[in-house]
Structure 1
């Protein structure tokens, strides 16, 4: 079995989303030690910013009309789509930044769409663990309820557009202990962290043996 793991944090070893992905992966490997992983880190190795524009433009042209840049970008987009197609499952660590999906994750998604066939369900029926983190809280009743424009977008893409069998795991208040303004939420943040860690490991175990 091959699992595609995608990380996107810009926090390096301090990443809360990658920590969740590590737990899911470790639990997965404990059940299926023969698993291989295809890894892509969009935060440390971002995709070229102009590739999507070139690939999208080339996709609307006849092959003989495409520029060299367009042909190269479209081929690259196709290779990204192949990473998803050939994976048997995926672990995706995609945190919220500035109230939405990060620009490097959006570029990856746009390139997957450009590299796939129109309407292609790239993850049809495949188990996908989506791990997303937020520095504050966007829960109902909080001052920033409704400001999370990341999670619903990702669910729309992976579950609704690409038909993944999606397990969503969320963790909030990752900036507690870093931003003094959030110190009053220390206990709540610890509870959320523990719950997310347990859920990530449980998801890795459950999907590995399914």
Structure 2
């Protein structure tokens, strides 16, 4: 069994998304002791910013005329797509940054599309858990309702394009504990935190069981 995990936080020592993903992974490991867990830390070891452009332009360049940089980008794209292809289950920890998807995750997703093909459902029949964490509140009625432009994009790519069997765990108000202006929200933030950890444990057990059946 092979679990493939992505982390996109730029703060590995204090990552809300990693904490939730750790809880998912712990349940996976308990069900599959000794199983392989392959990880990519996109936030701390980002992919080359120009790799997607190089891989894409290589597709319009005759093979004999491709530059070394284009060939390296194509090889990277194929490597990333292959990591998903070999996975039995997938775990993605992706924070909301500046109201949108992490640039590091976007670069990874674009390269996977280049490596696998735009219409290839690379996660078809693969149980997948997405952890989405947000510093503020974006639920209906919140002042910034509708400002989360990350989670809808992620659902579009993971489910509609890649056909993942997706479970989403969302944790909001992660900045409440350290932000004076959010002091009134700390009790609610603690409740959301506890619920997200419970959901992560449930999702981890389901992920492990689903992967066994794949």
Q: TM-score, normalised by structure 2?
A: 0.96
Q: Supply the distance in 1 between the matched residues of 2:166 and 2:175 (Cα, whole angstroms).
A: 26
Which SS does the other structure have where 2:80 is aligned?
helix
Q: Supply the distance in 1 between the matched residues of 2:46 and 2:69 (Cα, whole angstroms).
A: 18
User: What does 1:101-140 align with in structure 2 at a 5 Å threshold?
Assistant: 101-140=101-140
CA deviations on 1:119-165 (whole Å, 9 max, x unpaired) are 10110110000001000001111111110000000011011100000
Q: Which ranges in structure 2 are unaligned for 5 or more consecutive residues?
A: none
> What corresponds to 2:96 in structure 1?
96
4+ residue runs over 6 A deviation: none
Query: Does 1:15 pair with 2:11?
Result: no
Q: Supply the distance in 1 between the matched residues of 2:199 and 2:35 (Cα, whole angstroms).
A: 20
> What corresponds to 2:170 in structure 1?
170
**Distance verdict in 2 for CA 1:26–1:145, change over 3 Å:** same
> What corresponds to 1:73 in structure 2?
73
Aligned-residue Cα RMSD (Å) equals 0.9
The Cα shift of 1:118 comes to 3.6
Q: Supply the distance in 2 between the matched residues of 1:161 and 1:60 (Cα, whole angstroms).
A: 23
> What corresponds to 1:31 in structure 2?
31
8 Å contact kept, 1:32–1:209: no
The Cα shift of 1:65 comes to 2.4
Which deviates more, 53-62 or 102-111?
53-62
CA deviations on 1:100-123 (whole Å, 9 max, x unpaired) are 001111100111111112410110
Q: Supply the distance in 2 between the matched residues of 1:13 and 1:70 (Cα, whole angstroms).
A: 34
8 Å contact kept, 1:54–1:70: yes
